[in-house]
Amino acid sequence: MCYCVESCVQKHIQAQVPVMLKPGYVVSHVNLEGCGDGPLGLTASNPAFRVELDGTIQTVFVTMVPKDGLFFWITVQDRKDHRWNVDVSLSSTGQVPNNAVLKRSKRRWSPPPFGIMENGKGPFPKEMDRIASDTSVNYSLYYEIKGPGVTLPPVGLFSVVPNTGMLKVHGPVDREQYPQIVFTAYAYNTLTHAQTDEPLPITVLIEDENDNAPQFSGPMDFTVQEQSPMSTVIGKVTATDKDEPDTIRTKIKYTLKGSTDLFRIDPYSGVMSAATNTLDRETQEKYFVVVEIRDMGGAPDGLSNTGTATVSLTDINDNPPIFSQSMIKGNVPENKADVLVARIGVNDKDLKNTPNWKAVYEITKGNESGNFMIKTDPVTNEGLLYVIKPLDYEKEQTVKLEVMARNEAPLVGSSLNWQKVPVEITVEDVDEGPEFSAPILQLKVKENVPNGTIIGTYTATDPETKSSKDIIYYKLNDPGSWINVMSNTGELKTAMTIDRESPLVSNNMYNITVKAVDKSQKSGTGTVMILIEDVNDNIPVVNGSGLFMCNKGAKQALLINATDLDQKPYSDPFSFELVKPNDGKWRLRDQKATSVMLEPTGDLPNDIYKVPILVKDLQGFGKEQTLSVRLCECTSGGVCAASKLSTALGVWGILAMLLGLLLLLLLCLLCILVCSTKGDKLPMADDDSPGGMLLKSNLEAPGDEVKDVLILLPTSGADVMDSSKEGGYIDHSFGQKHTFGEGMYHNNMQGFLTNTLSSGQYSTGMYGNSFKKHSAMSTMDGLQENRKMLSKKLVYFREEADTRFADDILRPYGFEGVGSPAGSVGCCSILGEDESLDFLDSLGPKFKTLADVCTTKSQRGGK
């Protein structure tokens, strides 16, 4: 082989080229025909040129060809790393391209690039080649080198013998780290140490050797659907090699080391595909395939690596669910609903909890009446068969069904079909209660039929005996107690008046529930729906409340609406008619089915008017009704304005209101005293005031005179304490103590009433010490003020005696002892008209309250 390759490659190549070579210019061709089947490595020593695998020599960058020619060599390397050199000589034709620029360059020393093998073996240092300058003919020279590999990393790799120019390498170098090293050589005159020539770049090419095994660089996990067709692409295995690209040392071959009957791989692209169409996930879900990668095109002496590719099969629905039993049996009692009858199990080899595995059940036969329902248990994937409508043993003792199981996903890749299984359900006999002839009985009846009217019969039978004997009927539900159920016969009779317009009736229907019980105490229920037919038992009614009309002369009108609870033809359209005799102030117009417009015939003053009107239904059934219509001035909002009562009442109206208020006050006080049966005894201490003396009395109840009448004393006998002083005062009119702010005020209702009634006009005095002049108050304000005072008094008198102040209560007293100027308290009730009460002026303030109670109205000069 070595002899053949060495003999097939020519030793020399000569070519004439232009002075300037552009990049990509084809210089010549290395003839590799007859050199065997194995790939060869071709490398140019001059970096300005490259050699393709087919032997074509091309220019890499712009290169000038000297007049004396350009020389380099090409290294040929076979699989066994044997090498031969082909010398290449390029001579210039003297022609320059039109776009080239001719330059005259100084002749220089120009040694060719040097090449060394990476990872070279020792001993070191080794001589590489010699450099020499053209000026060495005229001068004695010495040489120096600087740059990468010398003074820069990798430092100390190269050196030069100064006097001879011999280059040496001092150790191995890795091409993958330094593909080439370019350093600079300098030539100096030995005597003057001056440079005799320009610095020369020296290129050292590191020639590659196969010292790196290929490595996997891509994912090694692949998926493919089960039962995929043959040659289905599964994935691509990728690998890289650090050696020189595009050479035999980086040409990788892929090989499977196992499972070759199921998978295959392209040797140079690494694409893996299925070698069969029988991949079955249910047989094996994952495959682990060993892949070998080897450089040198797979040559035995190439470097290699192995890795494991994982091929996972994805599931398809190629297995239908298979029933675990060939026959399903179950039992269910009759008349039972929502009962689980049977659990139907299946087996499915497809991937669990996927649509390929989840079962869907269907009853294909025997469920025409809809008694059964089947659904899937999401955990166990079983079919759950339920009875949703009760079965009747007397009608059917055995029910036969057929159930089919399928998957959520369609069935593919299988010759099988969806499976079916027979199901047999046995109905168990149960002693049943009576059954009504119909679950719901509908009857018709007119409203207001007489009590005791038979409207129908509702009976039941025993399912076993088909007889109604010994069955008792009861009424379970009757909202209005309108119907009686005869216990032995099931007859339905009216018990009360049936009213269609009752709120118990909905859409003219009234329902009752009936229960039937046999002798074994089994029962059944039924519903009776009574359709109530209407009769004309209601008249049209006019809505006559809150009617008002804004006074706009004869142009205003009022809409009158009427309603009738009956249905047609016993209701609208209504007829409206003003009842005679009519004073001619009103008339009707624009009559509708249920309404009419009422308007005055002329201008009317503001007032409340009574308008009689006759409204009849379609059957002429109706009666006269009186409307109360208020004619008033309206506000901008369309409602009646408030009346000004204070200006309309006048003096006599005000006096009448005040008199009524006074009578109401006296009535309240009288009721309080009459209702009081016992008063607490109040010890009263004498004060410094001159006058009479009060004695303790054992009388528990008020005297007859006090019960009969309660008259107030004039204000002249009332003591008023200065409100500027601290403390309080006694209200002798009502026996109440008041505090207002920091001072006191006197609630002198009697004085206000006396002055008002006597003078016939508003007084300028103080009322209740509220600091308001009566002349400045309207009638309504005065009434409201009086009402407030009365409310306070009444609330006070409703309180228990223990919670009041002792000296603010009217107390009953008995005999007062001997020596009192007034004599007995009871004498107050028999004093004559002409008898004087001047002696009361000398009594103390505590006795005056009692005197106020005992004095009659005539003695006070009341009118």
Please tell me the pTM assigned to this model.
Answer: 0.42
Fold of 215-314: Immunoglobulin-like (2.60.40)
DSSP 30-58: ---TTS-SS--EEEESSTTEEE-TT-EEE
Q: Is the pLDDT of residue 745 over 80?
A: no
Q: Residue 153, preceding bond cis, omega within 30 degrees? A: no
E strand intervals along 334-471? 339-344, 346-347, 359-365, 372-376, 383-387, 398-407, 419-428, 435-436, 440-446, 454-457, 460-461
Tokens of 218: 């891509």
Q: What's the pLDDT tens digit per position in 363-415? A: 999 999 999 999 999 999 999 999 999 998 888 899 999 999 999 999 998 88
Backbone torsions φ then ψ of 847, nearest 5 degrees? -80, -20
Tokens of 314: 């994805």
More confident residue, 167 or 543: 167
| pLDDT band of 651, cuts 50, 70, 90 | low
* Mean pLDDT for the stretch of residues 189-217: 90
**Beta-carbon count within 10 A of 359 CB:** 21
418, pLDDT greater than 90: yes
Q: What is the share, in percent, of the chain residues with pLDDT greater than 90?
A: 34
What is the crossing angle of helices 749-759 and 650-675, to 10°?
A: 150
pLDDT at 821 over 90: no
Mean pLDDT on 751-771:
38
How open is the CA angle 328-333-338, to the nearest 5 degrees? Answer: 80
Q: Tell me what the mean pLDDT of segment 758-765 comes to.
A: 37
Q: Chain-centre distance of CA 29, in angstroms?
A: 80
Instruction: Label residue 522 by pLDDT band (50, 70, 90).
Output: confident
pLDDT of residue 761: 39
Tens of pLDDT, residue by residue over 726-737, are: 343 334 333 343
Q: What is the rounded average pLDDT of the residues 777-784?
A: 64
State which of 140-144, 719-723, 851-855 shows the largest mean pLDDT: 140-144
Mean pLDDT of 411-428: 91
Rg (CA), the chain: 66
Q: What is the mean pLDDT of residues 279-299?
A: 93
Going by pLDDT thresholds of 50, 70 and 90, the confidence category of residue 780 is low
pLDDT of residue 111: 65
pLDDT given at position 404: 96
Superfamily of domain 541-643 in CATH is Cadherins (2.60.40.60)
CATH number, domain 121-198, options 3.40.50.880, 3.10.105.10, 2.60.40.60, 3.40.50.2000:
2.60.40.60
CA distances from 796 to 501, 732, 734, 813 (A): 51, 15, 10, 22
Provide the pLDDT for residue 653.
65
* pLDDT recorded at residue 726: 39
Give just the sign of the alpha carbon dihedral 571, 577, 580, 582. positive
What are the DSSP E strand ranges found in 408-508? 419-428, 435-436, 440-446, 454-457, 460-461, 472-477, 483-485, 491-494
Alpha helices, DSSP H, located in 440-551? none
Distance CA 616, CA 100 (A): 126
Please report the pLDDT score of residue 709 as a whole number.
Answer: 39
Q: Across residues 321-336, what is the average pLDDT?
A: 92
> What's the mean per-residue pLDDT of the chain?
78
Among 111-125, 524-538, 583-597, 826-840, which stretch is predicted with the lowest mean pLDDT? Answer: 826-840
**Omega prior to 123 cis, within 30 of 0:** yes
355 with 364: CB under 8 angstroms?
Answer: no
pLDDT of 718: 37
Kindly state the percentage of the chain with pLDDT values over 70.
73
Provide φ and ψ at 515, rounded to 5°: -120, 135
Superfamily of the domain at 1-105: Cadherins (2.60.40.60)
Looking at domain 435-533, its CATH class is mainly beta
3-state secondary structure 432-450: CCCEECCCEEEEEEECCCC
Domain map of the chain by residue range? 1-105, 121-198, 215-314, 322-428, 435-533, 541-643, 648-854
Record the tokens describing residue 202, joined without a space: 């020296």
Please give the pLDDT value at position 329: 93
Most confident segment among 429-438, 685-694, 815-824: 429-438
Distance in angstroms (rounded) separating the CA atoms of residues 547 and 328 = 80
Residue that wins the pLDDT comparison between 746 and 822: 822
Q: What average pLDDT does this structure show over 25-35? A: 79
> Is domain 322-428 given the CATH code 3.90.1150.10 in the classification?
no
Give yes or no on whether 215-314 and 541-643 have one common fold. Answer: yes
Please list, in sequence order, all residues whose beta carbon lies within 8 angstroms of the beta carbon of residue 672, skipping any fewer than 6 positions away: 797, 798
Q: Supply the pLDDT for residue 798.
A: 55
For 22, which DSSP code?
P
| Confidence (pLDDT) at 440 | 93
Mean pLDDT of 149-153: 93
pLDDT band at 492 (very low <50, low <70, confident <90, very high): very high
How far apart (Å, rounded) are the C-alpha atoms in residues 703 and 829?
9
Contact 818, 688 (CB under 8 A): no
So what's the pLDDT on residue 845? 61
Token pair in block for residue 446 = 């007119």
- Antiparallel, parallel or unpaired: β 383-387 and 141-146: unpaired
pLDDT digits (tens, 9 = 90+) for 93-139: 654 444 443 333 344 565 667 788 888 887 899 888 888 887 777 77
Q: In what order do the strands lie in the sheet with 141-146?
A: 114-117, 200-207, 180-189, 141-146
239-252 pLDDT per residue, tens: 999 998 888 889 99
Q: What is the pLDDT of residue 509?
A: 93
Strand pairing report for 253-256 and 286-294: antiparallel
Average pLDDT over residues 814-841: 51
